[in-house]
Amino acid sequence: MNNCYLHNDVQVFISYRREGGRDVARNIYDRLSLAGFNTFFDYNSMQNGVIDPQIYKAIEKATDFVLILSKDALNRCYNSDDWVRKEIEHALLQNKNIVLLSTDEIVEFPDNLPESLRTLRSRQVTFLSQVYYDRSIEQLKSALVSKPVKYNHIFYYFLWMFVIFIIVCVLWFGMSFLSSKNNNPMTGYQATAFLMRYDNLRLRYDCDINDTSFSLFHYDDSIDQQSVMHIYPVSDYIDYQPGQTAKLVSANSIMTIKNANHLPTIQLKLHSMNKQTLVLTSAELQIDEYRYDDQPAFCFTISDHKLEVYNIGALVVYKGVIEYSILREGESFTTFKNSQTINLNPDHASIRLSRPMQPSDLIVGRLVLQDGTSYGFRGDNTKDKLTDVYNYTLPIPVFDLKNDKNQSYKFDDFHRSLVKGEIDDDVAFQLRTPNNCVCRIRLKLVSSQDKILYSNYLYVRCIGTSSLSLEK
């Protein structure tokens, strides 16, 4: 079909210059048709220099004549055979409502505009703004004499256009996704953060590390159903499992613990599976969740004459009852023989034992809080006292976290490059916190092409250094 269908009740005729105005005219036709106007738009005008007779018939039937003033649209109108000139002249002769629609904010009429078209200079021009396009369309519709007619075919036309629009969007998004996947230089690279094992620490940094000389705590990890790693501290002395209360499992007469180096060590493994070399120029530790650890934790120490109770958790506890029995060698436990109320304000209480402990004695007891929860302890009076904790500093970054929900820390002088098949696991760091806390971390890596590669998320439960500053 060379021409749009000529309705018997044409309301709006659209005239345009093919060079520069065809797409605009087609869009105006679509917008007016969807609004309910019977619009004529000839998109294949002027075959072999001869105007189709239907053009004149459409102008005669239409009430409104919309002239698209694209750039230089009227420059050839000095020629009496110009088809745009003939359309305008015929519309003026038929006394149609002439509506001028310009794609430029400033309209310049050519000096050689023929006398028959001179009246165009005095007519109001509607500017088709690309920024406020919908508003311009509304101004155009208000300049028309015709009123929209809602026919059933308009609804089906709109429905069909909507279906086409959805199909085009799906295809466009699909192609965009495939294109971005193929062109993204970060595709084929993996950054995995995980807990560094103590055996690996020994081998990597050539140091003798064990639970008593390096730390009261070591760290275990577990993977949840969402493949997120949870890292939490455990100890030979304090049971500190996630979701449970902390309990002392061995009281070896701990006399002095100051700022023990019990920092979780996180390692980053970079793996290249892409033939393109990966160059990373910066790394940043991101923390988007930080909260105080509300799991109770208590530490008990025993000397010859005293029992010390320390609240090393975030739970505020004021009062409790200590119940205990001192058992001689070979004696079985039957019941708690001693009971005393203690005040843990702010975080420490000391009681004098009912009798001095002998080297072969065993003490068994529990702390009962006001809400009824209890925490058991047991220990002997051996002379193998843990009096010092070895603070070994590894040659890796240590990030001192703050009590903020959102934090970030940059690595100094970070630079890594990997070729296909190469694995880099030399990136490691430690976390240090002033309080017991739980935080969610990940690493953000930026390539030389400003592309971003994120690691997996880690949930880390940290024991604050200030919580283990204990002295007898």
pLDDT band at 208 (very low <50, low <70, confident <90, very high): low
**Is omega for the bond preceding 346 within 30 degrees of 0, making it cis?**
yes
How many Å from the N-terminal Cα to the C-terminal Cα in the chain?
A: 99
Produce one character per residue of 189-220: b if its CB has 16 or more CB atoms within 10 Å, e if not.
Answer: bebebbbbebeebeebeeeebeeeebbbbbbe
Q: What is the pLDDT of residue 348?
A: 81
Q: Which residues of 268-301 are buried (b: 16+ CB within 10 A; e: fewer)?
A: bebbbebeeebebeebebbbeebeebebbbbbbb
DSSP per-residue letters across 393-404:
PPSS-EEE--S-
Confidence class for position 155, pLDDT limits 50, 70, 90: low
| pLDDT grade for 67, boundaries at 50, 70 and 90 | very high
pLDDT tops 60 at residue 209 = no
Crossing angle of the two packed helices 133-143 and 18-34, in degrees rounded to 10: 80
DSSP 413: T
Under DSSP, is residue 281 helix (H, G, I), strand (E, B) or coil?
strand
Q: What is the pLDDT of residues 220-269, one digit of tens each?
A: 777 776 677 777 776 666 665 555 555 555 544 444 444 445 678 888 98
For 31-40, what is each residue's pLDDT tens digit? 898 888 888 8
Please name the amino acid found at residue 30: D
- Distance, CA of 25 to CA of 101 (rounded, Å): 10
Q: How confident is the model at residue 105 (pLDDT cuts 50, 70, 90)?
A: confident
Residues 376, 251 contacting (CB under 8 angstroms) = no
pTM for this one? 0.45
Which DSSP string corresponds to 315-339?
Answer: ----EEEEEEEEEPTTPPP-S--EE
Residue 335 CB burial class (10 angstroms; 0-12, 13-18, ≥19)? exposed
Looking at every residue in the chain, the average pLDDT score rounds to 77
Domains in the chain: ranges and CATH: 12-150 (3.40.50.10140), 185-472 (no CATH)
Mean pLDDT of 430-439: 81
- pLDDT one-digit tens code per residue, 278-314: 889 999 999 988 877 666 667 777 777 888 887 766 5
Determine phi and psi for 87, rounding to 5 degrees. Answer: -65, -45
Say if CB 32 and CB 141 are below 8 A apart.
yes
Chain CA centroid to CA 109, Å: 54
Higher-pLDDT residue of 455, 472:
455
